């Protein structure tokens, strides 16, 4: 691309110092054939000597265009700017109204951004379940309240007890908590009835959750990718530009110092590991790969043993134990497996010689596979036993999901107040005790805490069809868990000596959440073809209810729906997806090239600035040296003339 400017306009810049600039030297190398054609185009397009004049001309041209704009166009642009400002102020106001902002700020200052990401993830799940509660109220509870004809008694009878709230039986089984409470009701149109509204509420929860989780995952991945691309700028930015000079409060200053210190710890830890990784020999790499293979085999055997134990606990009906323990035998077994095996996975990953961030991610992947697979196996055996009993199968499954949610909450409560807090008190009062020193300091283990949240949310998604009020129970339990974990991290735990990068792990958090959602959707689709034994769809299936609505529609609408579900529509849809993906890939490549050019431009601009600063310092030193040299030369001249 050649400039249209005349040669006279560049005469001011054709000076001696301009010829010595590094960017001009690079352009000169281009003309001499020292660079490749692609590099030559980049240097010529980015570092032209008349670039500043060209920018000035563009600004003048824009001013002329603005002066020629009409009244309506000017009003439209001003309104657009005002709307953007209003939205920006609304976003800032919404961010300031977010709950627990000061708490998260305090946790980040003491324990780093990794621990803060756990609490942000927990807050996100609370918002998500609040949205689910609104959908349940609009699609299920509202129509049932207006058109329901349920004759079950909601009074606390003589056979009911307080244990029913733990077991999900008795009074609670007759309440709106479970699927069997709901009936078809008086709203009985073909395409507007209680069963269809119930299904619409469940499907809206699944689809809305899918959109929100996928969006959160993609946005987090984009931010992670951008952070990884600018790691070379990270340290200089944190050292020279990390401090906020608007801070006046001493506590805020200490928190900001903790932020910077934790970030530098993380960077030094990663640099140390990368240096160690680069110095590995071929023999060390082979031994490391063999060790990792053996450790992965051990992980597979442990997973197989865990699944066998869950199967045995599900089929054990002849154990002579208390009723409460017998009812909670399967949740106790699953919780025991989920508590013990992730700790073993954590120890195994420490022997595999990964960085701390990779160790956290590997432990998360293995543990989430354990939790989701154990839940899936438990549900398969539960479906088999409920079919054999020929009772209200949906109520039984809902009761089991309710018990899993309650038991997980009780486990979190007992672990904090009966294990961690007494352990902390013993460490303070008896620090020299052998048992206390053997246990060590309490740390806030982020992978296991996140796994518990993903597990709870997966149980809520799986059980919302069988237990419609489970999201409300989940909101209450997650709120209490937030304050329990806040007490645990601030009162019972100490900061980690090694930090890990939370950006990639937070993406993995949402990806695991997406896996749990897909598992819940797969379970819902798999049971849709079975005949339902109770509830609003009694003696029917999901397919028959929807088919009745479709057949009542006009023929034109039926033909459109048949076309949308046929293979003739699938092919154009697939082609459209391919075109859209291709356009996004090509746009990404073009943006990548533009980013590389801008990086080159920044490098050349910084080199020009350094060169000009050097020249300026040389010019400032020049007059001083010349003024010092003149008196010495005059004295030497007098001596020469005064000699005989």
Give the 3-state DSSP-derived string for 527-543, with helices as H, strands as E and coil as C: HCCCCCCCCCCCCCCHH
pLDDT (0 to 100) of residue 434: 74
Q: Could you tell me the pLDDT band of residue 476, with boundaries at 50, 70 and 90?
A: very high
pLDDT (0 to 100) of residue 11: 44
pLDDT (0 to 100) of residue 384: 73
Name the most confidently modeled range: 54-63, 122-131, 213-222.
Answer: 122-131
Q: What percent of the chain has pLDDT over 70?
A: 72
**Range of weakest confidence among 27-31, 54-58, 592-596:** 54-58
User: Could you count the other beta carbons within 10 Å of the beta carbon of residue 469?
Assistant: 20
CA distance 489 to 482: 11
Mapping DSSP to helix (H, G, I), strand (E, B) and coil, where does residue 143 land? helix
Is it the case that residue 627 has pLDDT exceeding 50? yes
Instruction: Summarize the confidence of residues 471-484 as an average pLDDT.
Output: 93
The token duo for 447 is: 């992978």
Instruction: Summarize the confidence of residues 340-358 as an average pLDDT.
Output: 77
pLDDT (0 to 100) of residue 479: 93
pLDDT tens profile 181-239: 888 877 777 788 888 888 889 999 999 999 998 888 887 766 666 555 544 455 666 67
- Which long-range contacts link 212-219 to residues 24+ away (Cβ below 8 Å)? 212/128, 213/510, 213/513, 213/514, 213/517, 214/514, 216/124, 216/510, 217/507, 217/510, 217/511, 217/514
Is it the case that residue 571 has pLDDT exceeding 60? yes
Query: Residues near 44 by Cβ (< 8 Å), separated by ≥ 6?
Result: 1, 27, 30
**Range of weakest confidence among 279-288, 299-308, 387-396:** 387-396
Q: What percent of the chain has pLDDT over 90?
A: 8
Is it the case that residue 291 has pLDDT exceeding 80? yes
pLDDT (0 to 100) of residue 255: 67
pLDDT (0 to 100) of residue 172: 82
Is it the case that residue 13 has pLDDT exceeding 50? no
CA distance 377 to 380: 5
Nearest alpha-carbon partner for 375 in 266, 429, 440, 455: 455
Name residue 188's beta-bridge partners. Answer: 193
Q: What are the distances in angstroms from CA 290 to CA 283, 304, 351, 564?
A: 11, 22, 12, 52
**What is the rounded end-to-end Cα distance, in angstroms, of the chain?**
73
CA distance 534 to 141: 17
Q: Half-sphere exposure of 332 toward its Cβ, with a 13 Å CA cutoff?
A: 8
The token duo for 85 is: 């400002």
pLDDT (0 to 100) of residue 461: 92
pLDDT tens profile 528-556: 777 787 878 877 888 888 888 888 888 88
Is it the case that residue 624 has pLDDT exceeding 80? no
Higher pLDDT, 462 or 5: 462
Q: What are the distances in angstroms from CA 184 to CA 13, 180, 551?
A: 85, 11, 20
pLDDT (0 to 100) of residue 48: 45
Higher pLDDT, 578 or 345: 578
CA distance 470 to 461: 9
pLDDT (0 to 100) of residue 246: 60
Q: Which residue is associated with the tokens 């020999």?
A: 281
Q: Could you tell me the pLDDT band of residue 625, with boundaries at 50, 70 and 90?
A: low
pLDDT (0 to 100) of residue 531: 78
User: Could you count the other beta carbons within 10 Å of the beta carbon of residue 336?
Assistant: 15
Q: Could you tell me the pLDDT band of residue 27, with boundaries at 50, 70 and 90?
A: low
**Range of weakest confidence among 4-8, 451-455, 566-570, 578-582:** 4-8
Instruction: Summarize the confidence of residues 566-587 as an average pLDDT.
Output: 87
pLDDT (0 to 100) of residue 500: 53
Q: Half-sphere exposure of 463 toward its Cβ, with a 13 Å CA cutoff?
A: 31
Higher pLDDT, 112 or 610: 610
pLDDT (0 to 100) of residue 631: 59
Higher pLDDT, 364 or 57: 364
Instruction: Summarize the confidence of residues 280-291 as an average pLDDT.
Output: 82
**Range of weakest confidence among 169-178, 400-409, 582-591:** 169-178
pLDDT (0 to 100) of residue 134: 92
Higher pLDDT, 319 or 158: 158
pLDDT (0 to 100) of residue 28: 65
Is it the case that residue 126 has pLDDT exceeding 90? yes
Instruction: Summarize the confidence of residues 8-18 as an average pLDDT.
Output: 49
Is it the case that residue 240 has pLDDT exceeding 80? no
pLDDT (0 to 100) of residue 321: 43
Do 466 and 179 form a contact (C-beta atoms < 8 A)? yes
Is it the case that residue 15 has pLDDT exceeding 70? no
**Range of weakest confidence among 390-394, 454-458, 465-469:** 390-394
Higher pLDDT, 159 or 6: 159
Do 404 and 331 form a contact (C-beta atoms < 8 A)? yes
Instruction: Summarize the confidence of residues 128-140 as an average pLDDT.
Output: 91
- Average pLDDT of the chain is 75
Is it the case that residue 3 has pLDDT exceeding 60? no
CA distance 241 to 249: 19
């Amino acid at each position: 691309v050649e400039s249209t400017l005349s040669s006279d306009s560049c005469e001011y810049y054709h000076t001696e110092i301009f010829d010595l600039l590094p960017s001009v030297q690079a352009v000169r190398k281009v003309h001499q054939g020292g660079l490749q054609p692609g590099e030559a185009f980049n240097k010529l397009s980015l570092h032209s000597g008349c670039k500043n004049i060209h920018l000035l001309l563009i600004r003048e041209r824009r001013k002329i265009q603005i002066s020629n704009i009409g009244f309506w166009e000017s009003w439209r642009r001003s309104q657009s700017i005002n709307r953007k400002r209003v939205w920006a102020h609304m976003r800032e106001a919404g961010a300031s109204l977010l709950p627990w902002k000061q708490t998260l700020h305090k946790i980040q200052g003491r324990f780093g951004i990794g621990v803060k990401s756990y609490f942000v993830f927990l807050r996100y799940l609370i918002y998500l379940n609040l949205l689910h509660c609104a959908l349940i109220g609009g699609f299920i509870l509202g129509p049932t309240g207006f058109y329901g004809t349920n004759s079950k008694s909601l009074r606390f009878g003589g056979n009911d007890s307080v244990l029913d709230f733990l077991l999900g039986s008795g009074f609670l089984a007759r309440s709106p908590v479970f699927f069997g409470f709901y009936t078809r009701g008086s709203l009985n149109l073909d395409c507007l009835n209680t069963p269809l509204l119930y299904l619409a509420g469940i499907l809206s929860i699944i689809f809305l959750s899918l959109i929100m989780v996928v969006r959160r995952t993609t946005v987090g991945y984009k931010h992670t990718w951008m952070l990884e691309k600018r790691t070379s700028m990270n340290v200089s930015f944190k050292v020279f530009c990390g401090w906020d000079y608007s801070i006046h409060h001493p506590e805020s200053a200490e928190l900001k110092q903790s932020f910077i210190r934790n970030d530098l710890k993380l960077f030094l830890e990663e640099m140390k590991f990368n240096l160690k990784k680069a110095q590995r020999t071929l023999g060390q790499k082979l031994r490391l790969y063999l060790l990792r293979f053996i450790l992965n085999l051990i992980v597979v055997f442990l997973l197989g043993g865990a699944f066998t134990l869950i199967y045995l606990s599900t089929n054990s009906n002849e154990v002579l134990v208390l009723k409460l323990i017998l009812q909670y035998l399967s949740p106790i077994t699953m919780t025991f497996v989920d508590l013990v095996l992730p700790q073993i996975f954590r120890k195994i990953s420490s022997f595999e010689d990964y960085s701390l961030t990779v160790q956290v991610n590997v432990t998360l992947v293995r543990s989430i596979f354990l939790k989701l697979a154990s839940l899936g196996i438990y549900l398969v055996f539960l479906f088999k036993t409920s079919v054999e009993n020929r009772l209200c199968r949906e109520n039984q499954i809902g009761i089991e999901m309710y018990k899993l949610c309650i038991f997980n909450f009780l486990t979190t409560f007992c672990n904090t107040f009966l294990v961690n807090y007494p352990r902390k008190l013993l460490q303070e009062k008896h620090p020299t005790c052998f048992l206390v020193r053997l246990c060590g300091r309490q740390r806030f283990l982020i992978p296991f805490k996140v796994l518990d949240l993903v597990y709870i949310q997966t149980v809520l998604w799986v059980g919302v069809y069988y237990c419609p009020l489970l999201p409300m129970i989940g909101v209450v339990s997650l709120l209490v868990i937030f304050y329990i974990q806040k007490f645990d991290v601030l009162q019972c735990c100490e900061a980690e000596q090694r930090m890990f990068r939370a950006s990639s792990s937070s993406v993995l958090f949402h990806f695991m959440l997406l896996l749990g959602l897909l598992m819940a959707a797969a379970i819902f689709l798999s049971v849709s073809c079975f005949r339902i034994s109770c509830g609003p769809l009694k003696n029917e299936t999901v397919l028959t209810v929807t088919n009745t609505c479709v057949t009542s529609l006009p023929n034109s609408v039926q033909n459109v729906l048949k076309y949308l579900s046929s293979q003739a529509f699938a092919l154009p849809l697939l082609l459209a997806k391919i075109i859209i993906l291709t356009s996004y890939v090509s746009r990404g490549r073009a943006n990548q090239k533009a980013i590389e050019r801008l990086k080159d431009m920044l490098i050349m601009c910084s080199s020009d600035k350094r060169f000009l600063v050097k020249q300026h310092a040389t010019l400032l030193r020049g007059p001083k040296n010349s003024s010092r040299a003149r008196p010495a030369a005059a004295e030497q001249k007098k001596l020469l003339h005064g000699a005989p």
